[in-house]
Amino acid sequence: MAEDHVEVNRDGLSRLQSAAEAFARAEVDRIAGAVIDDLRSQSANDTFGDVAARSLWDEYCWSLQEGPFDGDMGWDDVRLGSLSGAFEDVLRASIQTEVEKLPRHTLVLLSAQAFEEDDDSDEEERLGSIWIDGIVSLVLDEVNSRASRRTLDLIGPHRGDVIGYEVEGSGMVWSVLSDRGEVLDLIASHADALIDPEGDLSDLAEDMVEAFMAAAAEDDEGAVFSVFLEYFEDEVRALVREKDVVPSIEDIRARLVERLDA
């Protein structure tokens, strides 16, 4: 009796494996993005007092880059473990929530990828099985890779000094105050508002307008302009604020936030 058998084309099998791996990597990237978006949507806990973290994602990235913070947290006889460990636990829980939403065929493919990258796994356990912890670790590695690449100086303790190297304004007021060496000090004093997408920029705008008006009033060669300012000071101040200063600092903030969230 002839023995039935199936011949497998090696090239076809190789392409199938490559397609499965590509699918798994794309799914890991997607889940990592969803988890990061979730952390970005959660308010910061003010864990690091001198860091202007805007979200839980900022705090996690700071912990990863500046840590580990392994000091035991707690009070009296209650111990909560290390801060870095607590952050990772939160992240793992968020990842597992996303993973558990996946259909079985996706879990199988992601598990196969996790087994492939794990040197200690048993060959017999791999085929067709689901390994949730392995999938979570895959996604965690991707999230940590993205977190470690972020530039966090703009939210760090020295952000007032750093921000001057990251901004380049526009408009007449910026040009005048830059020439007078005043603009970067003004920007530094309002750094927190500039890096916060919802921050109030009105105080910075007023400070820049006042500095510009003071500069204009000190212009001895512009006698006619000084008289003009004396009569129309309020109107000129409002015009300068709305048409020049506000658009400039809103553009600065947009570029700073884009750099922070890259």
Residue-wise pLDDT for 70-89, tens only, equals 655 444 454 445 777 888 89
Residue 3 lies in a domain: no
Look at residue 145 and tell me if it is in a domain. Answer: yes
| Local confidence band at 189 (pLDDT 50, 70, 90 cut-offs) | very high
Domain annotation covers residue 5: no
**Which stretch of 59-73, 162-176, 207-221 has the lowest confidence by average pLDDT?**
59-73
Alpha-helix residue ranges (DSSP H) falling in the chain: 10-41, 56-66, 83-99, 104-116, 123-126, 132-149, 159-162, 172-179, 183-189, 191-195, 202-217, 223-240, 246-260
Asked if pLDDT for residue 103 goes beyond 90, the answer is yes
Same domain, 111 and 172: no
Least confident of 56-70, 220-234, 236-250: 220-234
User: Is there a single domain that holds both residue 89 and residue 197?
Assistant: no
CA-to-CA separations, 108 to 44, 139, 200, in angstroms, rounded: 35, 15, 48
235 occurs within a structural domain = yes
Higher-confidence position of 16 and 62? 62
Q: Quick check: 223 pLDDT over 70?
A: no
Name the token pair of 150.
Answer: 């972020």
Range of the domain at 81: 10-150
Please indicate, yes or no, whether residues 125 and 174 belong to a single structural domain of this protein. no
User: Per the structure block, which two tokens stand in for 8?
Assistant: 């497998």
How far apart, in whole angstroms, are the C-alpha atoms of residue 136 and residue 56?
19
Do 210 and 194 share a structural domain? yes
Q: 69 lies in a domain?
A: yes
Residue 4 lies in a domain: no
Of the residues 150, 167, 183, the one at which a domain ends:
150
Considering its fold, how many domains does the chain have in total? 2
Spacing of C-alpha 59 from chain mean position: 10
Last-in-domain residue among 150, 166, 201: 150
111 and 217 in a single domain? The answer is no
> Measured between alpha carbons, how far is 118 from 107 in angstroms, rounded to an integer?
16
- pLDDT per position as a tens digit, 120-168: 665 555 667 889 999 999 999 999 999 999 989 999 999 999 998 888 8
Domain shared by 141 and 170, yes or no: no
Same domain, 209 and 237: yes
Q: Are residues 143 and 14 in the same domain?
A: yes
Give residue 120's identity as a one-letter amino acid code. Answer: D
Are 113 and 47 in the same domain?
Answer: yes
Tell me: do 144 and 95 sit in the same domain. Answer: yes
Q: Please, what's the b/e burial string for 214-250 (b: 16 or more CB within 10 A of its CB; e: otherwise)?
A: eebeeeeeeeeeeeebeeeeeebbeebbeebbbebbe
Q: CA of 243: how far to CAs of 20, 130, 139, 252, in Å?
A: 55, 60, 46, 15
Instruction: Using alpha carbons only, give the angle 100, 102, 108 rounded to the nearest 5 degrees.
Output: 100
Is there a single domain that holds both residue 132 and residue 204?
Answer: no
Q: What is the rounded CA–CA span in Å between residue 133 and residue 120?
A: 14
Other C-beta atoms closer than 10 Å to the C-beta of 88 total 17
Q: In the predicted model, what is the mean pLDDT of the chain?
A: 83
**With 90 as the cut, is the pLDDT of residue 24 above it?**
no
Residue 23 sits in the same domain as residue 108: yes
Indicate whether 68 belongs to any domain: yes
Instruction: Show which of 150, 168, 192 is a domain's final residue.
Output: 150
What pTM does this model have? 0.75
